Amino acid sequence: MKTTRRLVVAGLGSTMLAPIVAGEALGQSQSAADRAFASLAHRWLDQSMRLSPVSATQIGDHRFDSQLDDVSAAGRTAGLRFAHQTLDALNAIDKTRLSRPNQVDAALLSNALRAQIWQTETVQDWAWNPLGYQSIAGGALYNLMARDFAPAPQRL
């Protein structure tokens, strides 16, 4: 997985869920579109972390600390399929019925998904740029060692 995608995942993951969680915590009633978007955002974040364990560790989700991103053709296909499915589901939501914060988050998510699809299908940096592979390995080690979320022997 390309470094920029991990940064997008990490950045969007925290910003997208904050308004959703805040709205739920305050007991605000949400429109059907907002509920559909909240569900989509939660699914997107969860599956994104499953597809990129290194990104999961980076944002503090330690369910996949013992795993690396799948950089095989099958892994790229799974990520691309998920991006297309998520974008299709997002496009099916009437954005005019979303709250203003969710409209912004929907636009951010749409742009990130379209960038991921373009990166995988058109740029294909996985075929010519070895730095993508290095950043996964380096990021995996750094994310586990730089933060004291557990005793060092457990993190290793």
The model's pTM is: 0.79
Residue type, 153: P
Torsion of CA 101, 115, 93, 37, to 10 degrees: -50
pLDDT band of 154, cuts 50, 70, 90: confident
Provide the 8-state DSSP code for 129.
-
Q: What is the pLDDT of residue 149?
A: 84
Q: H or E stretch including 45?
A: helix 32-51
How far apart are alpha carbons 4 and 70 in whole angstroms?
A: 16
DSSP string for 10-39: HHHHHHHHHHHHHHHHTT----HHHHHHHH
Average pLDDT, the chain: 87
The neighbour count for residue 39, using CB atoms within 10 Å, is 13
